[in-house]
Structure 1
Amino acid sequence: MCGICCAVSFSVEHFSRDLKEDLLCNLKRRGPDSSKQLLRSTVNYQCLFSGHVLHLRGLLTAQPVEDERGNVFLWNGEVFSGIKVEAEENDTQIMFHYLSSCKNESDILSLFSKVQGPWSFIYYQASSHSLWFGRDFFGRRSLLWHFSNLGKSFCLSSVGTQASGVADQWQEVPASGIFRIDLKSASISQSVVLKLYPWKYSSGGDDIRECVHNSLTEISADLPTFVLVAANEAKLYLKDPVVPLNMALPQAAFETHCSSISRSPLTRESLRVFLTDGHTKEVVQQFIGVLSTAVKRRVLCLPRDENLAPSEVLKTSNGKANVAVLFSGGIDSMVIAALADHHIPLDEPIDLLNVAFMTKEKTIPVNFNKKGRKQKNHCEMPSEEFSKRAAATAAASPGEQFSVPDRVTGRAGLKELQAANPSRIWNFVEINVSLEELQRLRRTRISHLIQPLDTVLDDSIGCAVWFASRGAGWLVTQDGAQPYQSSAKVVLTGIGADEQLAGYSRHRVRFLAHGLEGLNKEIEMELGRISSRNLGRDDRVISDHGKEARFPFLDENVVSFLNSLPVWEKANLTLPRGIGEKLILRLAAVELGLTASALLPKRAMQFGSRIAKMEKNNEKASDKCGRLQIISLENLSVEN
């Protein structure tokens, strides 16, 4: 994981040899192990490259890297497959070696088409005055752009700064393909032309032309008038890293595998009925295999004290965990944790990060009202005074005020994992957040990470993920609870499961209205928008702690496997909640020996953690969130 940035200026008087302090600070938080800047200057333009590295594999390689021909490379990614990177090698060096040997545009596209894993990059090709940049197919790594001074400068960065107004917004670089800017031409014409090399979405020529046209129109809509977007003249493209979604429909009428299930109480035996079918069992085992491999790649690509004996590791690191899981006890995080257990050395703990936001009803003392009356409407309490009292109470007896749904299922999930492998140390970290802490840290640290996204849903999920991934909470053991700070640099998250396996309520609504054809289209739409809806935001939020987010469900081989299956082998929405959605994942959980968690219905993080109930109860998820706009308005008033 790295913080990468390139600031370009076409005007000497507008060029600064240093990044703004707040942007530099935000980048360093992403990459605390190494920081370096590099200047490239020509008659027509100046480029300031800034790289900040979180060291996770091979030898520590400071960025940006450069070669004797003046090429410069910034890499924020992980090569998990497609290009060979040995355990002791650094993928930044490997990627730059291949890039430096590329003779033309086609070679560059061929290279990035091979890479399996999350990435964003910036590459300056000196001989052609070209600046190449982009994000992977799913947009698992953040990259933003910011155009200013009427075309005299622009900036690319993993993370932005607090925007001071609508006209000064950072925007996410679309995960539509790779972009190239001819810097010399741009300085002469005084307009920036973004040449797009798109992902090839289908094998049909007309289809890809239509997709490219739509992409160009969508991208241009959010850009200033002096920035133009155009398809590359050679009509070159990147090869889609996953197989197309199987849109097949059953020839016969679609019925439940076992109609009696919908009428009987849900138990683990309900799911076992499905596994009596040979084909279903084989598909589930194949799914476990491909997902297990994805988890393995993501938990082994990091440095460990491998030369020490197990007893010495425990002595020197005090049972240090290298991997953490964003953990609600739900089916997604349970399966990820169980598979991580298969591959992480047994003497190494795994941190289970469980976040809860204070529930007002359970924390208000009866005598809080100065007049001695019980307060009927708990939401009417002064938030600042309430938070101070609640935080003090929480510190005295951690956990008692935070019995939110995800805390309850998390504790139950912990018991399942302990039963499955009692030899493993499972660090269940209870992360408790008061209203005062939420509001203070949203204002000072989180809001700019969520932006440019700005809805109530983005606020809720962004804040919840930030606190969870920070890993500062209470380590709960049989002997009680003690303060704990997770040191894990890698954070596994289950994002991608709901999108692919019909886990959201909107999937069920679409299925009831339009059948399997409508469900297929909904899943296709979910995958198509996941880069702009979720992943850039989550990457920025988690990386702010000097940690790297890894997404096993979005491994290219996992997505290709699930895309190859007909939809009825992944979900059966004729069955009740808690069994029909994400059916293949529930069956995998049963095969892995998990019990109660296999039957838990989907519960969104914002509701399971109760952050959605903290401040306002009458908001819609899609509403613009005023809490994310406050800082912008404050900054604007100060500047004016």
Structure 2
Amino acid sequence: MCGICCSVSFSVEHFSKDLEEDLLYSLNRRGPDSGKQVLKSDVNYQCLFSGHVLHLRGVLTAQPVEDERGNVFLWNGEVFSGIKFEAEENDTQIMFNYLSSCMNESDILSLFSEVQGPWSFIYYQASTHYLWFGRDFFGRRSLLWQFSNLGKSFCLSSVGTQKSTVANQWQEVPASGIFRIDLKSTAISGCVILKLYPWKCFPKENVLDECVNSLSRISADLPAFVSVIPNEAKLYLEKPVVPLNMMLPQASLETHCRYSSSIPPTRETLQIFLTDGHMKKVVQQFIDILSLAVKRRVLYLHRDENLVPNEVSKICTRKANVAVLFSGGIDSMVIATLADRHIPLDEPIDLLNVAFMSEAKISPANFNKKRSKQNNCKIPSEEFSNNVAADSPDDNIPDRVTGRAGLKELQAINPSRIWNFVEINVSLEELQKLRRTQICHLIQPLDTVLDDSIGCAVWFASRGIGWLVTQDEVKSYQSRAKVILTGIGADEQLAGYSRHRICFQTLGLEGLNKEIAMELGRISFRNLGRDDRVIADHGKEARFPFLDENVVSFLNSLPVWEKANLTLPRGIGEKLILRLAAVELGLTASALLPKRAMQFGSRIAKMEKNNEKASDKCGRLQTIFSENLSFKKEIKS
């Protein structure tokens, strides 16, 4: 994970040797382990490259990297498969070596077509004056662009700033393919022309139409002086996943599946499905593929001595390298169970469980439990003093209830593992202050009530500052895990949302297939850029096992009724294949939990205005506050 940025100027009066302090601050938060800048000047333009590295695997490689020919590379990604590499190697250097050996644009496209894993990149070819950039097919890594001064400058960055105006708004680079700009030509002509190399679509005869549609969507959001055109050679990137199986059953779904919609949502009911030999085989294949995806995301890490200095207590001596955004729901439970298979047994796993509470509930409680006076892990700042232990066993927060129940299931599956269930409690005062000073610009350019709720909830959860409540004591705790696993992608592919059930009831399986295709197609701009910016703000990396290319291809290959059966009740029908996998993995009650949106499960949706719709523009994200920079200076000092 890195913070990458390239600021380009086409006129001398806009040349600069440094980035805005606000932008540099945000990039440093993403990549706290190394920071470096490279300046490339031509008679017609100047490029300032800034790289900020979060060290996760291999040898720490400072960015930007530059070769003897003057090419410059910024990489924010992880290579999990697709091209040859060793587990201990640093993928930034691997990718740059491959790029440096590319002879033409076709070679570059072939390389990025083969890479499996999340990425965004910026690559400067000195000899041609070309600047290449883009995001992976799902858009799992954020990249924004900003065009200003009527085309005299533009900027690419992993994250924006709170200083942007309507005229100079940051926007997400679409995950539509790879873009290329001829810097020399742009400087001379004064016209900003972006050439797009799109992802190849299926079927092949629709490639041109889809490209035209993609260009229209992109251009609609850009200033008038910026044009996006297809590349002259009509070259494309190969999609990294197989097309969605749109097959429909010959008979009705009820007849095909041989089950009644009145069957009870019990574990025994799920086990009946597993008596079908074909279904059991499909479920086991799914487990194997998802398990490998999790393995790649938890083992490709730089692991040190794994000891937290100056700590003696057992619960604090071992450092967790991996955390899970954890509600106790089916998605996070399966991810945690599979992570347990692959993470060394002596290494804890942090389960990050966030809840938004009133001031009364968040006040310190009188626990009649033994407390350690000398071994408590310290919270790093008085800024977070309101983040205190919960007052009652359940607090009426749904995700806290299911989270604690899920913890017991995981402890039963592997009692030898230290499961750090981190209770993260957020007050209204803290939510409002940190949204204003730290979170607001990370959610932007998204701006709805839903974006605000999910963005803030994920930010506080991934920050990992909370409490460990054990039988003996309550300890303040801060998760230091650099990798955070999240279950995003499961609902989109497995008909987990209530709108999928409505769609099925009105339009049948054909409509449901189209809805699932639409969900996956829009996930790049609907969810992933926002979540990447929010989680990376803590110097941590989000990893998405359900969006592993092999997992998506496997699920895409199945007919829809093997993934979900919405003739069945909630708690069984949606995400059916995942529930069956959970049963096979030994999970119990969590396998039957119906979908509950994070904004309701964490209770953030109840904290402020209750009469808002999720799709409304959120006024709390619109205001830019003048004290932001002074607050950040205060935090630094």
Bigger Cα displacement from structure 2, 400-409 vs 514-523: 400-409
Aligned to 2:225: 226
Change (3 A) 1:132 1:313: farther
d(CA) in 2 for partners of 1:75, 1:60: 13
Matched, 1:614 2:613: no
Instruction: Give per-residue Cα distances to partners, 1:257-306, cap 9 Å, x unaligned.
Output: 76666334321101000000000000000000000000000000111137
d(CA) in 1 for partners of 2:390, 2:401: 17
Q: CA deviation at 1:88?
A: 2.0
Change (3 A) 1:88 1:213: same
Aligned to 1:195: 195
Change (3 A) 1:313 1:361: closer
Letter in 1 for 2:564: A
Alignment RMSD, CA only? 2.2
d(CA) in 2 for partners of 1:483, 1:316: 11
Aligned to 2:215: 216
Change (3 A) 1:67 1:260: closer
d(CA) in 1 for partners of 2:460, 2:391: 16
Change (3 A) 1:213 1:260: closer
Residues 294, 555 of structure 1: 8 Å contact kept: yes
Letter in 2 for 1:522: E
1:315-354 equivalent positions in 2, closer than 5 A: 318-354=317-353
Q: CA deviation at 1:165?
A: 2.6
SS at match of 2:622: helix
Instruction: Give per-residue Cα distances to partners, 1:135-159, cap 9 Å, x unaligned.
Output: 0000000000000001100000000
The two structures have a TM-score, normalised by structure 2, of 0.92
Matched, 1:463 2:456: yes
Change (3 A) 1:613 1:112: same
Aligned to 1:474: 467
Aligned to 2:437: 444
Change (3 A) 1:623 1:464: same
Residues 257, 274 of structure 1: 8 Å contact kept: no
Residues 466, 477 of structure 2: 8 Å contact kept: yes
Q: CA deviation at 1:69?
A: 0.4
1:11-50 equivalent positions in 2, closer than 5 A: 11-50=11-50
Q: Which structure carries more helix by proportion?
A: 1
1:555-594 equivalent positions in 2, closer than 5 A: 555-594=548-587
Change (3 A) 1:122 1:605: same
Aligned to 1:602: 595
SS at match of 2:5: strand
d(CA) in 2 for partners of 1:49, 1:274: 55
Residue segments in structure 1 that go unaligned for 5+ positions in a row: 366-390, 636-640
Change (3 A) 1:47 1:164: closer
Residues 195, 231 of structure 1: 8 Å contact kept: yes
Letter in 1 for 2:29: R
Q: CA deviation at 1:478?
A: 1.3
d(CA) in 2 for partners of 1:433, 1:397: 10
Aligned to 2:277: 278
Aligned to 2:180: 180
Aligned to 1:292: 291
d(CA) in 1 for partners of 2:116, 2:420: 31
Matched, 1:546 2:547: no
Aligned to 1:129: 129
Paired residues in the alignment total 606
The two structures have a TM-score, normalised by structure 1, of 0.92
Letter in 2 for 1:595: T
Residues 291, 553 of structure 1: 8 Å contact kept: yes
d(CA) in 1 for partners of 2:438, 2:407: 31
d(CA) in 1 for partners of 2:334, 2:517: 24
Residues 10, 46 of structure 1: 8 Å contact kept: yes
d(CA) in 2 for partners of 1:316, 1:112: 43
Letter in 2 for 1:600: L
d(CA) in 2 for partners of 1:261, 1:421: 35
Residues 362, 401 of structure 1: 8 Å contact kept: no
d(CA) in 1 for partners of 2:562, 2:389: 50
Q: CA deviation at 1:84?
A: 1.7
Instruction: Give per-residue Cα distances to partners, 1:452-505, cap 9 Å, x unaligned.
Output: 000000000000000000000001211132100001000000000000000000
1:283-432 equivalent positions in 2, closer than 5 A: 283-305=282-304, 318-359=317-358, 395=388, 402-432=395-425
Letter in 2 for 1:159: V
Residue segments in structure 2 that go unaligned for 5+ positions in a row: 365-383, 629-637
Aligned to 1:370: none
Matched, 1:3 2:3: yes
Matched, 1:246 2:245: yes
SS at match of 2:178: strand
d(CA) in 2 for partners of 1:416, 1:626: 41
